[in-house]
Amino acid sequence: MRGLDAGPRPARRTEPGFALAAAVFALLILSALAAGAFYAAFEEVRIGRNGRAAESAFEAAEAGLSRAEADGPPEGWGAIPVGDSSLFVGTLPAGTGRFSGAFFRLNGQLFLIRSTGADAAGEGQRTVAALARLDTAGVARTGSLDGASMSDSSGAPAAVLRPPMSARLIPERSWSELY
């Protein structure tokens, strides 16, 4: 008697299995694709965050440039000697950014205004600059740009003249005309 089983035993296969190797390879490919998708998603988030920070910094720099043009140097446009500079700083409303910069006096009437803005988190920073020319319209021809005292026709000292000076930004296309 051969035992309880009545039939012949099936022959054992001697061929190596391909299914396990194919499954492991497919899992490896799927894992690589998933890792690539996660990497791409994280890079998109990082690029978006950097873009937002750069845009906020640019807006802060532009706001600083506009405020610098409107307010002028703290000591007045005429008080900065040729070749010297004056600094300014400020923040945007609601703390959304900050800016700092300088007025550089290039000659008697020409200024370079540079403003560097940063976003609130300090992740982005941008710098903008513009040329400005003094607008002395309405200032007496014999007036002094730095507020120095003058004398009248009789030679007696006159009141100190502090002309209402402002500066106008020069469009970029006109910069080459300055030299």
pLDDT of residue 7: 64
Under a CB-based contact definition with an 8 Å cutoff, are residues 140 and 148 in contact? no
pLDDT of residue 17: 75
In a domain, 40, yes or no: no
pLDDT of residue 10: 66
pLDDT along the chain (179 residues), means of 10: 61 72 94 96 94 92 90 85 92 90 90 92 90 66 39 40 54 50
In a domain, 107, yes or no: yes
**CATH code, 63:** 3.30.1300
Rounded alpha-carbon distances, angstroms, from residue 178 to 4, 28, 51: 110, 65, 35
In a domain, 150, yes or no: yes
Q: Which two tokens stand for residue 59?
A: 């807006």
pLDDT of residue 58: 92
Which contiguous run of DSSP H or E holds residue 58? helix 19-71
In a domain, 21, yes or no: no
pLDDT of residue 57: 92
Which contiguous run of DSSP H or E holds residue 131? strand 125-135
In a domain, 106, yes or no: yes
Rounded alpha-carbon distances, angstroms, from residue 54 to 63, 97, 118, 128: 14, 11, 8, 13
In a domain, 167, yes or no: yes
Give one DSSP letter per residue of 71-124, joined into a string: H--TT-GGGSPTT-EEEEEEE-GGGSEEEEEEEEE-SSSEEEEEEEEEETTS--
In 3D space, the residue among 177, 172, 145, 164 whose CA is nearest the CA of residue 65 turns out to be 172
pLDDT of residue 6: 61
Q: Which domain holds residue 124?
A: 47-173
In a domain, 65, yes or no: yes
pLDDT of residue 144: 37
**Is the pTM above the cut of 0.85?**
no
pLDDT of residue 32: 96
Q: How many domains does the chain fold into? A: 1
Taking the C-alpha atoms of residue 117 and residue 141, their distance in angstroms, rounded to an integer, is 38
pLDDT of residue 159: 33
Taking the C-alpha atoms of residue 42 and residue 165, their distance in angstroms, rounded to an integer, is 52
In 3D space, the residue among 144, 147, 114, 117 whose CA is nearest the CA of residue 132 turns out to be 114
In a domain, 41, yes or no: no
Taking the C-alpha atoms of residue 36 and residue 146, their distance in angstroms, rounded to an integer, is 64
